[in-house]
Structure 1
Amino acid sequence: MNKEKAGCSKQILNRLKRAEGQMRGIQKMIDEGQDCFDIVTQLSAVRSSIDRTMGLVIAENITDCFENPVVDEAEQQERLQHALEMIIKK
């Protein structure tokens, strides 16, 4: 794994850890009986964070397809198609 890819993976892990902390905070809010509006606001923030993280993962995959193409053209096309499908599912 090159330094750039390792940096991106670390960035993704950091974002996931942050989202995990936010989820724990939301659980605590629910346990404490906090206002529904505040809980939904925090859930929306987590969803947004996860969406951005998914974008980073997809971008990393697409970048890898172009920077490290495989020799077999059909396999390369399959890798790119898979990356496009991830975007559509998002």
Structure 2
Amino acid sequence: MEDVNKATEYDQDVKNRLKRVEGQVRGVLKMMDEGKECKDVVTQLSAARSAMDRSLAYIVAKNLETCIRDAEDQGHNADDVIGEAIQMLVKSR
């Protein structure tokens, strides 16, 4: 059975998503340095967290899709792979 933790190739879309998150975090640090209001900093941090959560879900979904296809190609049941992916998402929260 395939393992959800196996090495994965990451496409440019997911890398771009994370670069946007990186930019958001840098923006938050700049806001802090500039003494921006707490409400504005928290709003931007929340946006960065949401973007990170979406990136995480995207990565797990793409990896799960690959693992399910591999399991099916090898004649295995994909239930274990799906369970591992769900656990990864649950632990991330």
- The interval holding the TM-score normalised by the smaller chain is 0.7 to 0.9
Partner of 1:45: 47
Aligned with residue 61 of structure 1, among 59, 63, 73: 63
Q: How high is the TM-score relative to the length of structure 2?
A: 0.76
1:40-65 CA distance string (max 9 Å, x none): 00000000000100110111111112
Count of aligned pairs between the two proteins: 84
Relative to total residues, which structure has the larger helix share, 1 or 2?
A: 1
CA contact (8 A) 2:68 2:81 kept: no
5+ residue gaps, structure 1: none
The residue that corresponds to 1:19 in the other structure is 21
Which amino acid is the alignment partner of residue 20 of structure 1?
Answer: E
Query: 1:10 aligned to 12, 16, 20, which one?
Result: 12
Match of 1:71 among 68, 71, 74: 74
Percent identity reads: 39
What TM-score, normalized by structure 1, do the two folds share? 0.78
Q: Output the aligned Cα RMSD.
A: 2.3
CA shift digits 1:2-56 (9 cap, x unpaired):
xxx96x6211100000000111111010001010000000000000000100110
